[in-house]
Amino acid sequence: MSRRLRVMQAFKAPRATTNPYIVMLDEALGSADGLEHLRFSWGSAIFGRYDAIHFHWPEAKFGGASRLRAMGKRFLFAALLARLTCSRVAIVRTMHNIELPQGMPRCELAMIRRLDRLTTLRIALNPTTPIPADAASETILHGHYRDWYASYPQPPALQGRLGYVGLIRRYKGVELLLQAFAEARASDDALSLSVSGKPSSTELTATITELAGAGVELDLRFLSDAELVAAVSRSELVVLPYRFMHNSGGTLAALSLDRPVLIPENDTNRALSAEVGAGWVHQYAGDLDGATLRRTMDEVRRLARADRPDLSARDWDAVGAQHVRAFRRAVAIRRGRSYTGSARSVAPVRKQA
């Protein structure tokens, strides 16, 4: 029997404001067989004993309330890189984002790039994530939110209600949605639109408020989980018109609450549509317009679909076990041993070096 792996996660004990993905992963890893689940501290990371370390958003290790604290974080990250360079610890990274973060100081970006070069194995959250051609990787699908939202009341959908739910940023295309909705409502005044979430700037708040016309309800603030569940559940169709979409927690949240979605057409979303079953993931090409909203609402009402989307591949017990196998493979690679297991058979898209 294989010994338990000691794996440090690059996050601390979850708090009330922690990303739900991290909270659910923390719980899944804490109960996974074959794993000693360690949470992050700088002292343990730099001086402790463990087999692998697992990063999600390494840029979150920087920053601070003062210049002195920011400099201290850089020093600690540099010390951690030195320890990882000189040891046999495997480095695993979950690729939440495709691009490097923007607006970081050069020295911090240099350390992120150094971590990239040291990384032993990358975890992709969907099979279309581009991975360097010479990099070891596994695909482990983002777990669902069904258990996370199970304790909250779920009201019935309102007929004709379109909904957008989530933080509002420029790239998420809420302005385009409001313009497309105005076109759709001009032909069907039974349609309504709810936009719920906090905009990223006062300028964006002003733009959205100005574009909101007849039939639009705005709730421009941060939503609690119970409020998010209610907003999604009241929607007959959830519309997420992101200008760029790769790993969308909003899409998965809507599907976890058994609501169909309208999202941009791309390889990632085509794969998701095939996974969850017909009638749940509707896609559009090009710019969103009123005709697309009306056509999709008609499809939602007319086309048959299962009672719930199939999210069985995203059960958290399976996600935890797949992570353990990925960690074990990373440790074997780092120590020059062969490993025949796999976290998941689907391979991410390979990017040419």
pLDDT digits (tens, 9 = 90+) for 51-65: 999 999 999 999 877
Lookup: tokens for 240: 């997420």
Mean pLDDT of the chain: 93
Cα distance between residue 209 and residue 216, in whole Å: 10
Position 343 scores a pLDDT of 47
Model confidence over 10-48: pLDDT tens digits? 999 999 888 899 999 999 999 999 999 999 999 999 999
Q: What are phi and psi of 326, to 5 degrees?
A: -65, -40
Cα distance between residue 331 and residue 115, in whole Å: 16
Per CATH, the number for 5-143+315-351 is 3.40.50
Mean pLDDT of 325-333: 97
Tell whether the model's pLDDT for residue 278 goes beyond 90.
yes
Mean pLDDT of 104-118: 94
**% pLDDT > 70, the chain:** 95
Residue 163: exposure state from Cβ atoms within 10 A (0-12, 13-18, ≥19): buried
Q: Where are the domains of the chain?
A: 5-143+315-351, 147-302
Cα distance between residue 108 and residue 115, in whole Å: 11
Mean pLDDT of 189-217: 96
Position 353 scores a pLDDT of 42
Position 67 scores a pLDDT of 87
Q: Scan for tokens 């999600």, then name that residue.
A: 56
Provide DSSP, 65-119: SSHHHHHHHHHHHHHHHHHHHHS--EEEEE---SSPPSS--HHHHHHHHHHHHH-
Under 8 Å between Cβ of 40 and 18: no
Residues β-bridged to residue 216: 193
Confidence tier at 275 by pLDDT (50, 70, 90): very high
Q: Scan for tokens 């338990």, then name that residue.
A: 4
Under 8 Å between Cβ of 44 and 38: yes
Mean pLDDT of 171-197: 96
Confidence tier at 97 by pLDDT (50, 70, 90): confident
Q: Scan for tokens 């809420």, then name that residue.
A: 174
Cα distance between residue 100 and residue 152, in whole Å: 36
Position 345 scores a pLDDT of 43
* The domains spanning 5-143+315-351 and 147-302 adopt the same CATH topology: yes
Tell whether the model's pLDDT for residue 229 goes beyond 70.
yes
Residue 17: exposure state from Cβ atoms within 10 A (0-12, 13-18, ≥19): exposed
Selected from 3.30.9.10, 3.30.1490.100, 1.10.274.10, 3.40.50.2000, the CATH number assigned to the domain covering 147-302 reads: 3.40.50.2000
Mean pLDDT of 6-12: 97
Confidence tier at 98 by pLDDT (50, 70, 90): confident
* Chain centre to alpha carbon of residue 344: 18
Cα distance between residue 270 and residue 22, in whole Å: 26
Q: How far is the CA of 82 from the CAs of 45, 88, 326, 344, in angstroms? A: 11, 12, 24, 32
Position 351 scores a pLDDT of 55
Position 338 scores a pLDDT of 66
Strand pairing category for 261-264 and 90-94: unpaired
Neighbour count for residue 275 (Cβ, 10 Å): 19
Lookup: tokens for 267: 């390889």
Under 8 Å between Cβ of 234 and 163: yes
Cα distance between residue 215 and residue 226, in whole Å: 24
Mean pLDDT is lowest, of 11-20, 141-150, 281-290, 331-340, for: 331-340
